[in-house]
Amino acid sequence: RSARVILSRMLEQHGLAVDTAESGEQALEYLHQHRPDVIFMDHLMPGMDGFQAVQVIKSDPQTATIPLMMYTSQEGELYVSQARALGAVGVLPKTVRPVDVSRVLYQLHLLPDRRQQRSALFDGRAVPVAAAQVAAGPDGVGATGEAASEAANFATTTATFTVAPATLSELQGGVRQSVQQVVKDQLAEQRRFMLATFEAFARRMGSEIKDGIAKVPTPPVVEPLPPPPPATPWWPVALTALLAAVPAAVLGYLHWRGAESQEALARELAETRQKVAVLSAAPPPASQPAAAMTVPVAAGPAVPSGPVAVEYVPYGETPLAYARLERLRTLASELQQKGFRGKIVVETYTGDFCLTGNASEGFAVAEAALPTQKCDLVGNPYDDTLSTAQRQSVAFANFSGTLDQRTGGAIEVEVVDAGRRSPVSYPEQGETSTAGDWNKVATRNNRVEFRLVPAADEGPPDE
């Protein structure tokens, strides 16, 4: 709409009466009753577009002869060719300048050509007037003789003549006034165009601002904040926390003691079950106990040459721990009471078990009914991977390391890895032999022996 207003103002500046239509349908209705000298047609309009309106106008014999100029923001040679093919004489852009509007009006012969409105000073009749002034003379009296003849020659011959200084000055003044008038008209036209442009822009901005203000939602009513609650005194909170912490601490301590007791009972139960399993799986000879063999320590100077105690180690258990540690403590206590001086040699032996499993998931003792020929492995991979330090538990190492200090240097502990020496003979791996028969012997070979080595200067023990 602003572009239509600007074009209307430019046309009105040239003294033209301008009528406008909002759509193509309204323009066609207007043409039923009026015959304008020229039509400026927009391309984008409500309803039919500019090209459709042009086709209707040019198809009607009564309106086909009216010059029609497209006034749109569309650009490009293709659009201009389409417009001219439909009957438009040209395309006028919406960013039009006043000089472009003037040129279009001159081309449509709606304005007189300024080049034809020359000043009378440039008309051919000025020459006879100047000649008549020369013939009249300076006093206004007609010249005679030779002067009149020269004046006549000057009037008829325009190729060679001289102009009087007064006439030349008048010609220069006329040219100057004509140029000044043209410049003044152009400046006035530019000023009117700028004013019309700013006015249309201001109206559009004003309408957009009003629409924006109307669309702004009403701010919600801000409710006042409720007053802050009164500060709570700190001492009830602290007292509550203290009363809650004391029972929690007591319950935590009781729970910890209960957990320790349960762990100790579970460990003792596991050791007892292991001993029962060993005793049931590999019963020793009638002269030896099922789980261990103990030789009483004599009260006199005589010390048995063989082992004084034997403990059997289940597969997968640390050799010097659990029952072996308890046996060492009992033996050391008895020897200290009897005044023994010397060493307690602890020898560990390795037995080879019939195992099932693999290296990645681990091995376990095979079922008793499994034939020995189907054992996945016959050996003791757990015991073979232990170093001398790893064969002892921390409690065993602490007890044996501090026994020398507790007994005043009278009793020492020496740990020896005997490996697979002096084993009990294993059964043959035949069709009738089973893993249970094999592992009974392996359990007797997987043992710990305790031997006594008295000191060289040991005297008779105290009674």
pLDDT, tens only, 191-229: 776 776 777 777 778 878 887 787 777 777 777 777 777
- Domain annotation covers residue 175: no
Sorted by sequence, the CB contacts under 8 Å of residue 350 that are 6+ apart come out as 380, 383, 384, 419, 420, 445, 446
Domain enclosing residue 30, as ranges: 2-116
Q: What is the pLDDT of residues 328-381, one digit of tens each?
A: 999 999 999 998 999 999 999 999 999 999 988 889 999 999 999 899 999 999
Taking residues 154-171, report their average pLDDT.
Answer: 60
Boundary-marking domain end, from 91, 116, 141: 116
Question: According to the model, what pLDDT value does residue 163 have?
Answer: 59
Res. 60: pLDDT tops 80: yes
Q: Is the pTM of this model over 0.85?
A: no
* Residue whose tokens read 């189907």: 374
Question: According to the model, what pLDDT value does residue 151 have?
Answer: 44
Boundary-marking domain end, from 59, 92, 116: 116
Q: Are 79 and 92 in contact (CB under 8 A)?
A: no
- Domain annotation covers residue 411: yes
pLDDT band, residue 283 (cuts 50/70/90): very low
- Domain annotation covers residue 376: yes
Q: Tell me the pLDDT of the chain averaged across its residues.
A: 78
- Domain annotation covers residue 217: no
- Domain annotation covers residue 141: no
- Domain annotation covers residue 47: yes
Q: What is the pLDDT of residues 16-59, one digit of tens each?
A: 899 989 888 999 999 999 999 999 988 888 888 888 999 999 99
- Domain annotation covers residue 225: no
Q: Measure Cα distances from 243 to 234, 288, 423 in Å.
A: 14, 61, 66
Question: According to the model, what pLDDT value does residue 226 have?
Answer: 77
Tell me which of 295 and 76 has the higher pLDDT.
Answer: 76
Q: For the chain, what is the domain count?
A: 2
- Domain annotation covers residue 211: no
Which alpha helices (H) appear in 234-380, and where do they start and end? Answer: 234-281, 323-337
Cα–Cα distance measured from residue 326 to residue 56, given in angstroms and rounded to the nearest whole number: 119
Q: Are 187 and 96 in contact (CB under 8 A)?
A: no
Is the backbone of residue 375 left (phi > 0), alpha (psi -120 to 50) or beta? Answer: beta
**What's 35's domain CATH number?**
3.40.50.2300
Cα–Cα distance measured from residue 399 to residue 432, given in angstroms and rounded to the nearest whole number: 46
Taking residues 65-70, report their average pLDDT.
Answer: 90
Q: 40 pairs with which residues across the strands?
A: 69
**What's 300's domain CATH number?**
3.30.1330
Boundary-marking domain end, from 98, 116, 134: 116
Question: According to the model, what pLDDT value does residue 129 have?
Answer: 46
Of 334, 328, 340, 338, nearest to 414 by C-alpha is 328
Range 436-441, long-range pairs (CB < 8 A, 24+ positions):
436/281, 436/367, 436/368, 436/369, 437/372, 438/353, 438/354, 438/372, 438/375, 438/378, 439/281, 439/282, 439/315, 439/353, 439/354, 439/365, 439/366, 439/368, 440/281, 440/282, 440/283, 441/282, 441/351
Tell me which of 90 and 456 has the higher pLDDT.
Answer: 90
Between strands 342-349 and 90-93, the pairing is unpaired
Tell me which of 263 and 154 has the higher pLDDT.
Answer: 263
